[in-house]
Amino acid sequence: MPVDPQLRTLDIEIPTQPEVLVKLSLLMADEDVDLPAISALVESDMALAAAVMKAVNSSLYGLQGRVQTVHQALTYLGMREVAAITFEMGLRAAFPPAVELEPIWARASQRGLLMGRMGQMLGVDPWAAHSAGLFEECGKAVLYRHAPAHYPAMLRAAQTDSELVQLEHTAFGVSHDALGAALCESWGLAPSAVVSVRHHVQVQDSLLMPDVVQRRSVLAISAMAWALLNRPDDIEDIARDIAPQAQLDETLVLRAARRVHEQLLEAQERGR
């Protein structure tokens, strides 16, 4: 999809989707997913395959023994999670390595995993949920690449993403949530993922979904993942506020959030 013309006038470049991710998107969109084709595609890019294998063998997934091939990773983790790791590595490769961006990528891995598994439990498109989690903060990387001399200071100065958005608007005329949504659109992510990335800061700040938002389930899962990672003591109250706005069952949302959080902690414990 083309990037919003208003963003183009700001002279902030949105990176194009790597060719391997274009091909992977097409494979993921096929109803009869071809696992050998996905494996071959990832393995065709040596640097990407190496990065995927490193991620698969990290403590985040807590697999027993060491996975040595992409095919093994697909067997143990499944298509969606390996595809998501591939997208994550492709996204990282689109930006220059930077110490300031490492926390963003680390949160993306964890949040994407939480959201994808919650989506699966709740009957919400797990690929859209996982990719929304991965891309939620990608607009920060866009702004970092645009203004590497100034943006790190803004990241340090802001206590919350809501504060950061205000600083970004003042400095650049646009904020990372809008840029992230534009990148998601240009890379062909699901509309519900784009909506989640576009509105996640507002929802985290207010726990209210804008009236204009029609596709709400992934955005609700995003809010729950944020609560797990930032306000775990308030998870029940946040589920009570968020779930009805997306026409989701509060009890099921809370149960899914707690279960995937337990899974993540267990995986990290096994991986140590």
Is the domain of 217 the same as that of 160? yes
Average of per-residue pLDDT values in the chain: 90
Same domain assignment for residues 25 and 9: no
Quick one: pLDDT band at residue 264, thresholds 50, 70, 90? confident
Cβ contacts of 154 within 8 Å, gap of 6 or more: 164, 167, 168, 171
Cα–chain center distance at 20: 18
Distance CA 226, CA 112 (A): 11
pLDDT given for residue 267 in this prediction: 77
Q: Which residue has the higher pLDDT, 174 or 34?
A: 174
Residue 123 to residues 43, 51, 120, 177, 218: CA-CA distances in angstroms? Answer: 31, 30, 5, 26, 11
The answer on 85 and 105 residing in a single domain is no
Note whether 129 and 210 are same-domain residues.
yes
Half-sphere exposure of 46 (CA within 13 A, CB side): 0
Domain span holding position 257: 5-15+99-271
Q: Convert 56-67 into a string of H (helix), E (strand) and C (coil).
A: HCCCCCCCCCCC
Residues 6+ apart with CB under 8 A from 240: 250
Residue 54 sits in the same domain as residue 157: no
CATH number, domain at 254?
1.10.3210.10
Domain-terminating residue out of 59, 93, 127: 93
HSE toward the beta carbon, residue 104, CA cutoff 13 A:
26
- Given its phi and psi angles, is residue 96 left (phi above 0), alpha (psi -120 to 50 degrees) or beta? beta
What token pair was written down for 177?
A: 């949530």
Residues 164 and 77 in one domain: no
Using the 3D structure, point to which of 38, 69, 93 is the last residue of a domain: 93
Q: Which residue has the tokens 């040595």?
A: 68
What percent of the chain has a predicted confidence (pLDDT) above 70? 96
Q: Do 69 and 190 belong together in one domain?
A: no
The pLDDT tens digits of the residues spanning 152-173 come to 999 999 999 999 999 999 999 9
Average pLDDT of span 66-72: 86
Based on the fold, state whether residues 76 and 188 are members of the same structural domain: no
Residue 268 has pLDDT above 90, yes or no: no
The domain total for the chain is 2
pLDDT given for residue 2 in this prediction? 44
Torsion on CA atoms 95, 96, 97, 101, rounded to nearest 10: -50
- Give the model's confidence band at 64: pLDDT under 50 very low, under 70 low, under 90 confident, else very high: confident
Q: What does the block give as tokens for 239?
A: 């589920």
- Same domain, yes or no: 43 and 111: no
Inform me whether the pLDDT recorded for 99 exceeds 60. yes
Residues 174 and 243 in one domain: yes
Residues 207-248: pLDDT tens digits? Answer: 999 999 988 999 999 999 999 999 999 999 999 999 999 999
Domain match, 53 and 106 both: no
Per-residue pLDDT at 114 exceeds 50: yes
Residue identified by tokens 């866009």 is: 142
**45, 62, 93: which is the final residue of a domain?**
93
Side chain identity at 81, as an amino acid letter? E
User: Does the pLDDT value for residue 8 go beyond 50?
Assistant: no
Q: Are residues 70 and 131 in the same domain?
A: no
| Per-residue pLDDT at 7 | 47
Poorest-confidence range of 26-40, 105-119, 157-171? 26-40
